Amino acid sequence: MDKTSSIHGMWSSRLMFILAATGSAVGLGNIWRFPYMTSDNGGGAFVVVYLCCIAFVGLPILIAEILLGRHGRVSPVNTLRNLARETGMHRAWVGIGWMGIVAGILILSFYSVVAGWTLHYSWLYLKQLFGGAGIVDPGATFQALLASPLELTAWHALFMVLTVGVVALGVEKGLERAVRFLMPALFLMLLALVAYGYTTGHMAEAAAFLFRPDWSKINADVFMRAMGQAFFTLSLGMCTMMTYGAYLPKEGVSIPRTGLAVALTDTTVALLAGLAIFPVVIAFGIDPAGGGPGLIFTSLPLAFEAMPFGILYGLLFFGLLAVAAWTSSISLLEPATAFMVEKYGVRNRKRAAIVIALLCWLIGLLSVLSLNLWSEVRILDRDIMTFIEFIANDLMLPLGGMLIALCVGWALNRTILRDQLSDLPEGLFLAWRWLMRVVAPRLVLAVLVRALVG
């Protein structure tokens, strides 16, 4: 019964899996979304709730997803189908896989638009390096980009092409090559920016904003966004990690340790991004609260104009951010692609990836238009892009995660879990199972219900 490999290929080592899973986790969620969510939702209070969500809900579910994938060795839908056949669990659990495919398509649609912004900024700095005009008024530069549907669409298209390129090549040739060098480079860049933030003399204020919670700011809404952010940043709730787990060798690879490494790295990068951005924000007299989705695009260019070799830094920073987004977007496309490949055959991988990406690109046009021509359109009080983000990130991901926790906690028997988590000491295993059975589902449900029904 023990399957040792998948038809899609396998990660060549434990390190490759960690790099790929970290590559998936670390992306726009950490460097673009985390700082502005913190900025908009009360600073330290948001950060504390977010960290608790990561520790008590995110990490345990990350372990559950990898475990399901490694047991199943196929795409999420088929993994759950096989489990239903093998263990007699209800076929309705397969819905987790379907919802994951839908969530992935929705997320990739706007993710690619924002990733396009990073490509545009890389291009601006590249031009500037060769004598082009500088970004004098970052606010105006950002507004000008958002106002141009054509430009947004072009960068969105370019990013989607890059994403499909990697996914079409498959696991060994595509995904691995992209992550090996570029992730460490991004990490170093962030450290350099934190160091620059230190020289502005505003690190203490930034740290206070990030880490000193004002409890009065916490309400059900903030809780829901922190939960959504925890799922988003760890790539959870839509079976991405399950899919990556399917390509993970069994011999000598510990799922809990690997999951912990991924969660720690991801959290570190988010906090570093906060420590890099807020000193600059404060130093240039911007209000750290209420920065909105433009936060990094309107604040960091101020630092790049002021610091020595700033233009080069700007180019490297936005370039590497685009790469981080790239290693994440391929993981958004992979679950649906793997499913299509299982349905239509391995030789059709390219076509499968292209068809799904095209769909994502088309849906992404809604987000593009909501930034300019359709900016007045409101659905449930939100513009279209924010609405898609809300449905996918804040609702579908936590819901998917909750169902995964329930499935692993109640529907699967101990033998399967123990077989995958063989190295986890009994006490920790019981604690993990309790989190899956009781804590995670209740917390997610309570947060969603409170936030939605008020």
Q: Which residues bind ligand TRP (CB under 6 A)?
A: 24-25, 27-30, 107, 232-233, 235, 238, 240, 328, 331-332, 397
Ordered DSSP codes for 218-268: --HHHHHHHHHHHHHHTT-SSSHHHHHHHT---TT--HHHHHHHHHHHHHH
Chain position carrying tokens 């239903």: 84
Closer residue to ligand TRP, CB minimum distance, 200 or 328:
328
| Token reading at 429 | 């295993």
Residue 169 Cβ, how far from ligand TRP at the closest point, in Å? 18
Residue 265 Cβ, how far from ligand TRP at the closest point, in Å? 12
HSE-CB at 10 with a 13 A cutoff on CA atoms is 13
Q: Is the dihedral of CA 114, 116, 118, 120 positive or negative?
A: negative
Q: How far apart are alpha carbons 50 and 338 in whole angstroms?
A: 31
Residue 107 Cβ, how far from ligand TRP at the closest point, in Å? 6
Show Cβ contacts of residue 161 under 8 Å, excluding neighbours closer than 6 positions.
none
Beta strands in 323-420 (DSSP E): none
For residue 393, the surrounding DSSP H or E stretch is: none
Q: How far apart are alpha carbons 343 and 59 in whole angstroms?
A: 31
Closer residue to ligand TRP, CB minimum distance, 385 or 424:
385
Closer residue to ligand TRP, CB minimum distance, 176 or 302:
176
Closer residue to ligand TRP, CB minimum distance, 107 or 404:
107
Q: How far apart are alpha carbons 78 and 3 in whole angstroms?
A: 14
Q: How far apart are alpha carbons 1 and 87 in whole angstroms?
A: 12
Chain position carrying tokens 């951005």: 277
Closer residue to ligand TRP, CB minimum distance, 105 or 397:
397
Closer residue to ligand TRP, CB minimum distance, 122 or 331:
331
Closer residue to ligand TRP, CB minimum distance, 65 or 383:
65
What 3-state class would DSSP assign to 182?
helix
Residue 4 Cβ, how far from ligand TRP at the closest point, in Å? 26
Residue 419 Cβ, how far from ligand TRP at the closest point, in Å? 26
**What would the 3-class secondary structure string for 270-298 be?**
HHHHHHHHHHHHHHCCCCCCCCCCCHHHH
The backbone region for 89, taken as left when phi is positive above 0, alpha when psi lies in -120 to 50, beta otherwise, is beta
CB-neighbour burial class of residue 216 (10 A; exposed 0-12, middle 13-18, buried 19+): exposed
- Is the distance from CB of 79 to CB of 68 less than 8 angstroms? yes
Residue 108 Cβ, how far from ligand TRP at the closest point, in Å? 8
Q: Is the dihedral of CA 38, 42, 44, 46 positive or negative?
A: negative
Closer residue to ligand TRP, CB minimum distance, 24 or 420:
24
Residue 22 Cβ, how far from ligand TRP at the closest point, in Å? 10
Closer residue to ligand TRP, CB minimum distance, 25 or 162:
25
Closer residue to ligand TRP, CB minimum distance, 238 or 444:
238
Closer residue to ligand TRP, CB minimum distance, 27 or 288:
27
Residue 404 Cβ, how far from ligand TRP at the closest point, in Å? 12
Residue 273 Cβ, how far from ligand TRP at the closest point, in Å? 11
Residue 364 Cβ, how far from ligand TRP at the closest point, in Å? 15
Q: How far apart are the first and last CA of the chain?
A: 48
- Is the distance from CB of 319 to CB of 181 less than 8 angstroms? no
| Bridge partners for 382 per DSSP | 379
Residue 119 Cβ, how far from ligand TRP at the closest point, in Å? 15
Chain residue at closest Cβ approach to ligand TRP: 29
Residue 118 Cβ, how far from ligand TRP at the closest point, in Å? 11
Closer residue to ligand TRP, CB minimum distance, 269 or 368:
269
